[in-house]
Structure 1
Amino acid sequence: MEKKIGRPAYKVVLSDNDRKFLEGVIRATTSPQSHVTRAKIALGAADGLSHEEIVELSGVSSFTVSKWRKRFSLFGVSVLSDAPRSGTPRIHDDDKIAEIIRLTTTTEPKNATQWSTTEMARVAGVSQSTVSRIWRTFGLKPHLIEYYNISNDPNFTSKVRDVVGLYLNPPEAALVLCVDEKTQIQALDRTQPVLPMTPFVPERQTHDYIRHGTTNLYAALDTASGKVITQTTTAHRAVEFISFLDLIDKEIPKDLEVHLIMDNYVTHKTDTVRKWNLEHERFHFHFTPTYSSWMNLVERWFSELTTKMLQRSTHKSEKQLIAAITKWTETWNENPRPFRWHKTADEIFKSMEKYLGPFTK
């Protein structure tokens, strides 16, 4: 008896531009998860994977894979974000859509650094609404830009593993402290009184202000408890940093080892600081990679201080500013909130691949 053969799978054929676009959808952190899944289905089908392999790759049901494989086969990548609908047939074919995507992602207009819907419509010979619809469908936003800064530290990987190891697996009988300084905090006062918030009217301040001096704030954040040791100074030289280290030494019980995570600022690495470290054997210095302040959790605490107190407060003198910082810190320490680190070193390296390609660790 002859074996019954199932319905043949729909064949998906992708151009080079289609493939680049779908791979971009998968890499982009802003892509909706549904788009990422559908892009994987299309690429898997085009690469000749079996139906079962695509199901495993995409993590969705067999029915969903069949549905989207058919749509990509019949209508191309233009159906990524929506199913084909009944009604008026579309005016522009896949080539025109691909051209608009190519122009948007690989070229610039003559009179600007990024495309507008008006300019793209003029160059591509379509309506402005068509450009808007295509950009929206494929998640293209020429007016937006993301900033990044990749460390050039030759010891980047070892430093990342060292610091992350302290966060995720802190040593026993030891404290892990994140240390840094927030410099040149200004005591600012508005030129006219601040008008309080009223129903339907927000708090109002003048745009201009008067400066009444500055201060520098050293902080050491206990990663386990969230408590903070602070000291304000008039300058931020090595001598002030050593004074702050002496304060930490005084505050921490003598039977505990102390691991300090800090950045590569020059005052952290002077000969006098190294000498101090040699004389205090229980202190261990760990440096974050260059351009990687995001790895120091005390920056999170500085952000809390800035947004919840410094940003909108007014101070008529440097003394008043220091008193306000001290009071805010004391209140924080009454009910501290530790900042938890979640990413492993390998996860950090993986996230860098969208900027650097495959990352060699």
Structure 2
Amino acid sequence: MWTEDEAGPYQAIPHLGSSWQPQGEPARQSHEYIRAGTAKLLTLFHPASGAVRVQGVTSCTNAVLHPWMQQTLTDILASLPEAKVVPPAENRAIWERWQEGLSVKWTLQEKLPPLRMLLVLDNLSGHKTPKLVHWLMAQGIMPLYTPIAGSWLNMAESIQRILVRRALAGQSPTNPTQLIEWLEATARGWNQHPTPFIWGGKRRARRQRAQTQRHSLGGSGAYTLQVIH
């Protein structure tokens, strides 16, 4: 499973970060606000290994995003083991299993290649163009879209926050080229010692605590927070 997202735009202005001002004196930044351009970060993230692939850009139209996604995904697929060939009916059932429970299901192609990758994307119209979706299916990639207002389900956003904080906190870039260089260099440094991601965190812990405090009523969906004697 890989996840994809576009982060930014990030401005070429001083960014907040740890400061070393003398005790009792406030942190100071330049009083000038100069618009020196912005940059965005295209990201593909593999949670199981922690590996990330990025590309810094100054614009993020479909004409920029889609070719980068296609080339990068092609490189990733080339590094994967050969796909296991199964009977057509069984292969289609594998694809359809990942559509179970979806409120909106897009039509699968008549002939499907072996499923090789799950790709999680945000629910943006640019991610759903027929040309891109057909290309993904032809490569054996199943796109899965996060629900509206559910972008936090996309772990690419988590790695982006880490990379951006490391690259820009306390820095004062003066142009988009610097922004792109620092962001990409930070991603290269991350890939030298990547950290795998496991789904969970504070939300999962809260859900688990809530479940232990609930007492079901007569086998129904209702529950109480107090034990009924």
Corresponding residue to 1:232 among 41, 56, 61: 56
Could you tell me whether the CA contact under 8 Å between 1:242 and 1:276 is conserved in 2?
Answer: no
Are positions 1:279 and 2:123 aligned together? Answer: no
RMSD: 3.0
Normalised by the length of structure 2, the TM-score is 0.64
Cα distance per residue 1:67-95 (max 9 Å; x no partner):
xxxxxxxxxxxxxxxxxxxxxxxxxxxxx
Higher relative contact order (CA 8 A, sep 6+): 2
String of CA shifts for 1:194-246, please: whole Å, max 9, x gaps.
Answer: xx724425653135432211122110111111111011223222222212222
Alignment: residue pair count: 172
Q: Which runs of 5+ in 1 are unaligned?
A: 1-175, 191-195, 352-357
Correspondence for 1:317: 175
1:220 aligns with 2:40: no
Q: Tell me, what secondary structure is at the counterpart of 1:303?
A: helix
Query: Which residue identity lines up with residue 126 of structure 2 in the other structure?
Result: T
Which amino acid is 2:11 matched to?
Answer: Q
Matches within 5 A, 1:197-276: 197-200=20-23, 201=25, 203-254=27-78, 255-256=80-81, 257-276=116-135
Residue in 2 aligned with 1:291? 149
Aligned equivalents of 1:230, 1:292: Cα separation in 2: 22
Partners of 1:208 and 1:291 in 2: CA distance: 35
The superposition leaves residues 31-66 of structure 1 with CA deviations (integer Å, 9 ceiling, x where unpaired) of xxxxxxxxxxxxxxxxxxxxxxxxxxxxxxxxxxxx
Aligned counterparts of 1:339 and 1:213: Cα–Cα separation in 2: 33
Q: Is this contact kept in 2: 1:189–1:211, CA < 8 A?
A: no
- Deviation (angstroms), 1:311: 4.0
Contact 2:133–2:143 at 8 Å: present in 1 too?
no
Aligned match of 1:131: none
The structural deviation recorded for 1:184 is 1.9
Match runs of 1:176-187 below 5 Å? 176-187=1-12
**Kept after mapping to 2: 8 A contact 1:300/1:339:** no
Q: Equivalent residues in 2 for 1:17-56 (5 A)?
A: none
Consecutive unaligned residues in structure 2, runs of 5 or more: 82-115, 212-220, 223-229
- Determine which structure has more spread, i.e. the larger CA radius of gyration: 1
Distance 1:336 1:286, change over 3 A: same
TM-score, structure 1 length as denominator? Answer: 0.42
Q: Which of the two has greater helix per residue?
A: 1
Identity %: 27
Q: Which amino acid aligns with 1:305?
A: L
